[in-house]
A = this chain, B = another copy of it.
Amino acid sequence: HPVYTPPTGPELNAKNWQSESALRMFLNNLTAEVAEDPEKLVVYGGIGQAARTPADARKIVELLLTLEEDESLLVQSGKPVGKIRSHAEAPRVLIANSNLVPHWATWEHFNNLRERGLMMYGQMTAGSWIYIGTQGILQGTYETFAACGRIHFGGDLRHRLVVTGGLGGMGGAQPLAATIAGATFLGVDIDPERIKKRLETRYIDKMTYDYNEAMRLVLAAQAKGEAISVGLVGDIGDVLERMIQDNITPDVLTDQTSAHDPINGYVPNGMTLPEAKRLREEDPAAYKEKSLKSMARHVHFMLELKNRGARTFDYGNNLREFAMQGGEKDAFQIQGFVPEYMRPLFCEGKGPFRWAALSGDPEDIRVTDEALKELFPENTHMINWLEQAQEKVAFQGLPCRICWLGMGEREKAGLLFNQLVREGKVKAPIVIGRDHLDCGSVASPYRETEGMLDGSDAVSDWPLLNLMANTSGGATWVSFHHGGGVGIGYSQHAGMVILADGTDRADRCLRRVLHNDPAMGIFRHADAGYETAQENAEKFGLNV
């Protein structure tokens, strides 16, 4: 299989920077440091791919190398299927991945088409060529914890104890995110290997097998307001039970065990890892039953700690649903993280603004970090994140940065980056994008649009309007996907990436796209009845 490596430096390989930027970011998604399984073209998130087959990947590269500024490339579920007539202020690439007519929108039908080579699963940023590695999940988790600090603790999480289960692929971002947000952190994982991995990458500070030692460490740190993180090997249910007995109530309680998969993910209470592995294979039905019962027990303890005052939330792993199936009727008294922590941000047009230095030079990101700090000196929350990220985040592939920005800020930041490119302060153009999980780009009733005020959770007109807005505004590439995050049938969402190459053309496109894109979030939430969104619509002159 080919080795995918994005070109770097200030020289063009394609005919213009628009095509070049798509080329570099496409290859960046597939490069070994970034992609989970480059051979299978899998970038992240299960089977989230950047192209359908290696032949399609090669073809995409060829076509991007020769694409003119008055053409656009069409990509259908990871396969390049045509070129159309276009113009310089329109997208260079138009992407539609994994979309199915609703009645046929099931994993069964999808997998059947996928096996026959007709489709690909695009996840969110895998098929839309703007995945940036673990920094994305780290920052998203940081935003959640920080929001929790602002909303419930009048500022930050200093002197607050955060407790959670699961320190795996994504959950492993929790200790670092929590300490960046100022908290003292205890994470429980049944698998010591997973905690060791977090130690090695410096995502967690200490590891122990001993409940008492863990408690001593975190309670002392909490008292002193020390932001440290401890990983404890054990079953999360058991640990919560003992904390209840010992009258220790965390300030914040959540969970990222892989509860979404009761057979291959969650480990039932009372079993060692090898026992669990054996039962999984020998009797999956029995395993599942144990798993559901354990989740019910686990959630039962979470509810008890919630009653005792712990701020408790579901972190998008479907734990509530399976705990309910296991017998815990009150499971859904725990709220999802979006309505409580993300939606207030969405109402300000805030979301996962991110950018990459096409030069490949980490120094360019340092320059943008500093420029942003100067641009928004009053945004201490952002400055805190940038400083911690500079220190703690290792780059994967092309150097990049993520930080959540809102209405107004995104446009300013984009124009600033374009100026840095124009003035030669960075060595090559910069691309700006975002996750499909954003304020106005997704309909996903089990996650981003759970529990909307007016009950419009399932209305997907909004991501479609977002797609149209970014396509007409002149994003450099746009995408529309189905099934990201929560799986086939459950979500529809739009992506966009826009180039800052220092030109006036880019200035015009940035002014439109980075204004309209967050405005969609404000329109959507104002229409659903959220007051802060309505106030922001007023403030930014968005009312009609």
Task: Decide if A468 touches B469 in the complex (CB within 8 Å).
Answer: no
Instruction: Tell me if A395 is interfacial: C-beta within 8 Å of chain B.
Output: no
Rounded to whole angstroms, the CA-CA distance of A360 and B482 in the bound complex is 43
A99 within 8 A of B: yes
What residues of chain B lie closer than 8 Å to A109, measured between beta carbons? 458
* Complex CA distance for A98 and B462, rounded to whole angstroms: 11
Q: Which residues of B contact A99 (CB under 8 A)?
A: 459-461, 464, 492
Contact A445 B544 (CB under 8 A): no
Interface residue? A153 (CB, 8 A): no
A136 and B196 CA atoms in complex are apart in Å by 68
Of A159-167, A379-387, A431-439, A515-523, the one contacting chain B is A515-523
Q: Which residues of B contact A474 (CB under 8 A)?
A: 87
- Tell me if A211 counts as interface (CB < 8 A to partner B): no
Q: How far is the CB of A403 from chain B (nearest CB, A)?
A: 23
A248 in contact (CB, < 8 A): no
- The smallest beta-carbon distance between A15 and chain B, in angstroms, is 15
Pick the contact of A456 from B113, B459, B515, B516 — CB < 8 Å?
B113
Q: Which of A407-424 contact B (CB under 8 A)?
A: none
Please indicate the chain B residues that have their CB under 8 angstroms from the CB of A86 in the complex.
472-473, 512
Residues of B within 8 A of A472 (CB): 72, 86, 90-91, 94, 471-472
Measured CB to CB, the nearest residue on chain B to A442 is: B101
Q: Which residue of B lies closest to A475 (CB)?
A: B472
Q: Which of A6-45 contact B (CB under 8 A)?
A: none
Residues in chain B near residue A97, CB distance under 8 A: 461
**Once the chains are docked, how many angstroms separate the CA of A94 from the CA of B519?**
15
Closest partner residue, chain B, to A112 (CB atom)? B455
The interface-forming segment of A76-84, A220-228, A258-266 is A76-84
The answer to whether B471 and A96 have CB atoms under 8 Å apart is no
| B-chain residues with CB within 8 Å of residue A216 when the two chains form the complex | none
Residues in B whose Cβ lies below 8 Å from that of A209 = none
**Which chain B residues lie closer than 8 Å to A468 at the CB level?**
91, 94, 96, 467, 471, 478, 480
**Interchain CA distance A135-B443 in the complex, whole Å:** 37
Which single member of B105, B118, B480, B544 contacts A103 (CB below 8 Å)?
A: B105
- Binary interface profile of A, 51-85, with partner B (CB < 8 Å = 1, else 0)? 00000000100010000000011101101111111
A80, A87, A472, A520 pick with most chain B CB within 10 angstroms: A472
Q: Closest B residue to A100 by CB, please name it.
A: B458
For residue A376, CB closer than 8 A to chain B, the reply is no
Q: Is A444 an interface residue (CB 8 A)?
A: yes
- Identical copies in the complex: 2
Indicate which residue in B80, B119, B458, B471 contacts A101 across the interface (CB closer than 8 Å). Answer: B458
**Is B542 touching A82 in the complex (CB atoms < 8 A)?**
yes
Complexed CA–CA distance, A480 and B464 (Å): 8
Partner among B59, B74, B102 whose Cβ is within 8 Å of the Cβ of A465: B74
CB-nearest residue of chain B relative to A471? B471
C-alpha spacing A89/B471, complex, angstroms: 12
A291 part of interface (Cβ distance < 8 Å): no
Query: Is A511 in the interface zone, CB < 8 Å from B?
Result: yes
Contact yes or no, A459 B515, CB < 8 A: no
Provide the residues of chain B in CB contact with A84, threshold 8 Å: 469, 473, 512, 515-516, 519
Bound together, the chains give a CA A97 to CA B460 distance in angstroms of 9
Question: Is B527 a contact of A459 with CB atoms below 8 Å?
Answer: no
For the complex of A and B, list the 9 residue pairs with the smallest distance between their C-beta atoms, beginning with the closest: A102-B105, A104-B458, A96-B461, A102-B102, A90-B472, A96-B464, A94-B468, A82-B523, A84-B516
21 example contacts (A-B, Cβ-Cβ < 8 A) are as follows A59-B544, A72-B472, A73-B544, A76-B462, A80-B544, A81-B465, A83-B544, A84-B515, A90-B472, A94-B468, A99-B459, A100-B459, A101-B444, A101-B460, A103-B458, A113-B459, A467-B471, A468-B471, A468-B478, A471-B471, A472-B472
Known: A82-B523, A105-B458. 18 other contacts (CB 8 A): A76-B459, A77-B461, A82-B520, A84-B473, A87-B89, A89-B89, A90-B472, A97-B461, A101-B457, A101-B458, A101-B489, A102-B489, A104-B445, A118-B454, A467-B467, A467-B471, A471-B471, A471-B472
